[in-house]
Structure 1
């Protein structure tokens, strides 16, 4: 999971660097050739895109640095943590729900993915099979029991 996210972010970094160093300079050069820069929408759009790409590259570089510092051996093998797939059962309704814990800035959230910083994510972290999770939401308090757990080590 961590390696997959690093690969995805690295691919985006590569695309953005190419855009920043090759594509955008060409667009800016073409826009300058059109003349008066004060009323040149192509020039303004290219500069705005350039600023966005630079900011996104900074964010991705910082995120990759944080990902590189994660030591998978520090993630517990029997408790909910990053990359865990957890099945919980609602005590009141006996309904079962499955959650996958991911980073808050995961590239693509899929059905059942929850970030580690979300209310359900924070409530689940550190719990093991058989543990009771009390999830306090604005309109209701839910009591969930962890019935199955696959950690990042078991996937």
Structure 2
């Protein structure tokens, strides 16, 4: 059964670009390295050949994984999402009830998470605790380390 993966349009474009780059640039480069190493003689004691073959195997695994991801990707249409409650692609401003600190996160598919840009995966404990909550509600979230945090939803937007 296919493992459907939800992505944004930008996320799918990024996957396709990486796949194209690996197939059109990296694959021929490794083939060339293998050919050069093969020309150096005895393959049984040729470290360059072994390294190139291993790199080829890793590259082919990555290409296969990317092809699978692209084939099973389903693009999320932001216009179809309910902005009255927290969902995937929501930009959520929350307030930590313990220390009063305010944070803003965008909930994105796992493959597009980037904490430095404020994008967290919908599979994280915080995101899971926020999903489905409405403006003004509080979310009690059990963290993996055993502590419990409470956040108040201050704002919800879908960009």
1:131: how far off? 1.8
CA deviation digits over 1:52-90, x for unaligned, max 9? 1111112212222333x2442553332222222111012
TM-score, L = length of structure 2: 0.83
Contact 2:86 2:131 in 1 (8 A): yes
Alignment of 1:7-86 (within 5 A): 7-19=13-25, 21-67=27-73, 69-72=74-77, 74-86=80-92
TM-score by length of 1: 0.85
**Aligned-pair Cα RMSD in Å:** 2.0
The size of the alignment, in residue pairs, is: 151
Whole-Å separation in 1 of the counterparts to 2:14 and 2:128: 25
Higher strand share: 2
Q: Tell me the equivalent position of 1:142.
A: 149
Q: Structure 1 segments of 4 or more deviating over 6 A?
A: none
Unaligned runs of 5+ in 2: 1-6
The 3 A distance-change label for structure 1 pair 79 and 65 is farther
Taking a change above 3 Å as real, the CA distance of residues 112 and 21 of structure 1, as seen in their structure-2 partners, is: closer
**Partners of 1:20 and 1:50 within 8 A in 2:** no
Structure 1 gaps of 5+ residues are none
Q: What does residue 130 of structure 1 align with?
A: 136
Are the equivalent residues in 1 in contact too, given 2:95–2:153 (CA < 8 A)? yes
Which of 95, 101, 109 does residue 103 from structure 1 map onto?
109
Deviation at 1:107, TM superposition (A): 7.1
> Alpha carbons of 1:108 and 1:42: their partners in 2 closer, same or farther (altered >3 Å)?
farther
Conserved 8 A contact 1:9-1:60: yes
